[in-house]
Structure 1
Amino acid sequence: MAENTKFDSAQYSWADVSVSMGGRIVTGLTSVSYTVKQAKSVLKGRGNKGHKILRGDKEFEGSIKIWQSELQAMIKSAPGKDVLSLNFDLVVAYTPADGGQNTTDILVSCEFTEYKKEMNQGDTNMEIECPIIFLDLKEDQ
């Protein structure tokens, strides 16, 4: 008989997430997301069904949402005060307080593609979404 295998299905909460850039945990970060895509197509030949799935290039993209003060700090330290010229690894660590499984994802060689500052009546602070592209994702480090 097969042995029972147990999977840790505990979920992470936002309080369990730490994100660091440039060797510093970013406290003014309110959102992080990242996606890995791969171009795929079906190889067609004789008949009306595909024969194989072909794989192409991978793409890596995402975004972070940060406080305006965090963006200003990055602009100050960026070469030529151009935050779009920064290149950095983004380290996303999931560390549950209840002692569950820790995992860390490293987004390698990130760069911002754009940012937009916006304030609206009634806002108490400015959050800025910064889309990113990166070269690789090292998962579960």
Structure 2
Amino acid sequence: MAEYTSKNYSWNDISIAVGGRIIEGVDEIEYTAKQEKTVLRGRGTVGHKIVRGNKDFEGKIVLWQSEVEAMIKDAPNNDILALNFDVIWSFTPNDGGATVTDVLRSCEVKEYKKGMKQGDQNMLVELPIIFLDIKHQQ
């Protein structure tokens, strides 16, 4: 039986690198992995097997405006929608627990919207992303 730890990581334990640069101005990050699955049916009333199809990956990252502006500056023709990058998301606990790193490969921004309202002290920009693969626990 495999030995495991039940360590829970906190926001303070993470480092996020986008395009090879650690991002300080990150407010939120998440991703979803999905796979098409259906029941293979044949003789009888119950399924015989679960068959699998394509996998899809998507998520979002919420950044300070200054981080988004840096990404735009690095993008082809200053178009963040044309930028292709990896996201490296590492959890490194201060208590000496195991480091866990996920790599989101070949990410692209699907859309973005900038906006502020009276009283805001900084701008947060949500970037919905799609990507090709996840490399878990690298």
TM-score grouping bracket, smaller chain normalisation = over 0.9
Structure 1 distance, partners of 2:8, 2:41, is: 41
Counting matched residue pairs gives 138
Residue 23 of structure 1: CA displacement?
Answer: 1.4
Q: If the length of structure 1 is used for normalisation, what is the TM-score?
A: 0.93
Q: Does 1:24 align with 2:21?
A: yes
What residue in structure 1 maps to residue 58 of structure 2? 61
Question: Following superposition of structure 1 onto structure 2, how do residues 1-141 of structure 1 map, counting pairs within 5 Å?
Answer: 6-141=3-138
Corresponding letter in the other structure for 2:134 = L
Share of identical aligned residues, percent?
57
* TM-score, structure 2 as length reference: 0.95
For structure 1, the 5+ residue unaligned runs are: none
**Stretches of 4+ aligned residues off by more than 4 angstroms:** none
- One-letter amino acid matched to 2:17: S
Instruction: Give SS of 1:50's match.
Output: coil
Which blocks of at least 5 consecutive residues in structure 2 are unaligned?
none
Counterpart secondary structure, 2:48 = strand
In 2, Cα distance between equivalents of 1:89 and 1:45: 43
Letter in 1 for 2:131: F
